[in-house]
């Protein structure tokens, strides 16, 4: 299961929200986060509701999955500035950069989330885990 929500006691508001916003069995990452914000829910619980409803997450805001036809649109940065590299490596957990940490770094450096993915691609660093539980 992707999210932390118990299948025995699903959050009905989350279930209804994901049902109403799904598009042909999919939901963009940004839409899932908008639901989490609107309902004051943890993103992982929105991911759980998506799992329960068999709705796939698409258009990852980091560009890592859910794009057609390439699936992934994250590209390697030409060169990673030293300060950014230090911030990324400092944020690693078990050799990976958590999605939430990637978002925080993007905000700190006033960069796009995809720029952080591009830096990680260049550095050979995987971003994981996803805040929605997709990876």
Displacement of CA 38 from its chain's centroid (Å): 17
- Specify whether 49 is located in the same domain as 82: no
pLDDT mean over 7-17: 81
Task: Answer yes or no: do 26 and 51 share one domain.
Answer: yes
Residues 35 and 86 in one domain: no
pLDDT band at 90 (very low <50, low <70, confident <90, very high): very high
What's the confidence (pLDDT) of residue 93? 97
Same domain, 135 and 79: yes
Same domain, 46 and 85: no
- Check: CB of residue 18 under 8 Å from CB of residue 26: no
Residue 52: inside a domain = yes
Residue 6 lies in a domain: no
Tell me, yes or no, whether 49 and 22 share the same domain: yes
> Which are the contacts of 114, defined by CB distance < 8 A and separation ≥ 6?
61, 62, 63, 73, 74
Residue 11's pLDDT band (boundaries 50, 70, 90)?
confident
Is 115 or 135 the better-scoring residue by pLDDT? Answer: 115
Evaluate whether residue 94 is within a structural domain.
yes
Res. 8: pLDDT tops 80: no
Same-domain status, 28 and 84: no
Bridge partners of 58, per DSSP, are: 28
Cα–Cα distance for residue pair 106/60, rounded to 1 Å: 15
Q: How many of the other CB atoms lie within 10 Å of CB of 132? A: 26
79/131 same-domain check: yes
- pLDDT tens-place string over residues 91-131: 999 999 999 999 999 999 999 999 999 999 999 999 999 99
- Residue range(s) defining the domain that contains residue 53: 12-58
What does the pLDDT look like over 63-79, one tens digit per residue? 999 999 989 999 999 99
User: In the prediction, which pLDDT does 5 show?
Assistant: 54
What average pLDDT is seen over the chain? Answer: 93
Is the separation of the CB atoms in 19 and 54 below 8 Å? Answer: no
Tally of structural domains, the chain? 2
Mean pLDDT of 47-62: 96
101 and 51 both lie in a single domain: no
Strands 26-28, 56-58: pairing is: parallel
């Amino acid at each position: 299961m992707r999210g932390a929500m118990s299948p025995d006691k699903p959050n009905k508001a989350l279930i209804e929200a994901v049902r109403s916003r799904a598009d042909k069995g999919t939901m963009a990452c940004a839409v899932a986060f908008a639901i989490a914000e609107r309902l004051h829910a943890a993103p992982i619980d929105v991911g759980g509701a998506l799992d329960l409803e068999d709705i796939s997450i698409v258009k990852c805001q980091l560009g890592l999955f859910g794009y057609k036809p390439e699936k992934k649109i994250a590209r390697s940065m030409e060169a990673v500035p030293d300060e950014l590299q230090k911030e990324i490596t400092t944020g690693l957990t078990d050799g990976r950069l958590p999605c939430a940490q990637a978002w925080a770094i993007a905000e700190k450096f006033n960069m796009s989330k995809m720029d952080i993915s591009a830096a990680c691609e260049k550095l050979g660093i995987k971003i994981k885990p996803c805040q929605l539980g997709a990876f």
